[in-house]
Amino acid sequence: VCSMGNSTSRLYSVLAKTLSSGAVSQHQDCLEQLDPARLDPIDPKDLLEECQIVLQKRPPRFQRNFVNLKKNTASNHRPIRVMQWNILAQALGEGKDNFVQCPIEALKWEERKCLILEEILAYKPDILCLQEVDHYFDTFEPLLSRLGYQCTFFPKPWSPCLDVERNNGPDGCALFFLKDRFELINSANIRLTAMKLKTNQVAIAQTLKCNETGRLFCIAVTHLKARTGWERFRSAQGCDLLQNLKNITQGAKIPLIICGDFNAEPTEEVYREFSNSSLNLNSAYKLLSPDGQSEPPYTTWKIRPSGECRHTLDYIWYSEHALNVNSALGLLTEEQIGPNRLPSFNYPSDHLSLVCDFSFNQDPDRLL
């Protein structure tokens, strides 16, 4: 079992006795024995301290500020903070993605996982949507469940991680929500189709009840097919996801938030499908632009053997008639990212995390 670094971890010592870091098939006995509800809760400050001990030889994490987007609408309720992030599967980062400017030492899992956890702990999301998760069973589920999250994982049927020697099982999408803030009403694992054929891409959609307001809403996470030349395929996957979400939300009667790595620039058809959907969706990060109509210049920035890749691929979509975006986390600047781009010793993924604070519209029917 990998420790969290050279120091002995108080938090990991309990998990190390029951969890190995092998492939998913090796976890089954452990999973049957391990009941997260019976494990002691973790104080987030203690876990953050553990991470910082492991990361003390690395440069400090980048500072990002929230941009206030709140209109003059009064709300007596706490906002719902949603975090979207493709965290970079460990097997892909080390074995397939060829980040030619990133030192292999920067990808070491014992430290990189602490960078990922540090980012999550810094922004304290109420709901966390992740893609490329291949350490769900030995890292994210045991730790985040002890932080109060309910956890769901849906792996890809044919994950490319399985082609990498000494992999940790398939990667997939994961969804986490704080149990003290929300009640799970319904959960659906969706294997996306394209041209009526089942594909290797998946989504999770959960209907939650906000304990404070009593309002229902649906949260979904997905990761569409990558690479140039697959635009029509992504478009078909997007149509399938939208149809599934129409059914789940009863045609947008239930407000909706969709997080994902769409692997599609705003110029692609799948982006237009979401923009023009009858679900009345808007992309939250457009609100950071001066006119509220333009996506950020990038959400991923890396250097591969083929050259430098700077793209906008990650989005948080939301029901514009029912939800307000109170604030959004600003992106890293080019200066912060640095000439070697991502990932790096400073930042654990080739994709930036997106974080938004949402509130319910007081009179959603008025805008339908």
Residue 35 is predicted with a pLDDT of 57
Mean pLDDT for 238-255 is 96
The mean pLDDT of 254-280, rounded to a whole number, is 98
Burial class (CB in 10 A: 0-12, 13-18, 19+), 99: buried
Contact 147, 141 (CB under 8 A): no
Whether 368 has a pLDDT exceeding 60, the answer reads no
Q: Which is more confident, 16 or 273?
A: 273
In contact, 114 and 55? CB cutoff 8 Å: yes
Give one DSSP letter per residue of 270-315, joined into a string.
Answer: HHHHHHT-TT-EEEGGGGGSTTS----S-SEEEEETTEEEEE--EE
What's the pLDDT at 111? 96
- Can you give the pLDDT at residue 366? 44
User: Over pLDDT 90: what percentage of the chain?
Assistant: 82
CATH code reported for the domain at 78-362: 3.60.10.10
- Mean pLDDT value across residues 209-218: 97
Confidence bin at 290 (pLDDT 50/70/90): very high
Tell me what the mean pLDDT of segment 43-60 comes to: 95
**Can you tell me the distance from the alpha carbon of 132 to that of 152, in angstroms, rounded to the nearest whole number?**
14
8 Å CB contact between 331 and 352: yes
pLDDT at 8 over 90: no
Burial class (CB in 10 A: 0-12, 13-18, 19+), 183: middle
**Domain ranges within the chain, ordered by starting residue:** 78-362
For the chain, how long is the longest CA-to-CA vector?
57
Nearest to 336 by CA among 80, 64, 16: 64
Cα–Cα distance between 185 and 196 in angstroms, integer?
29
Is this structure's pTM higher than 0.95?
no
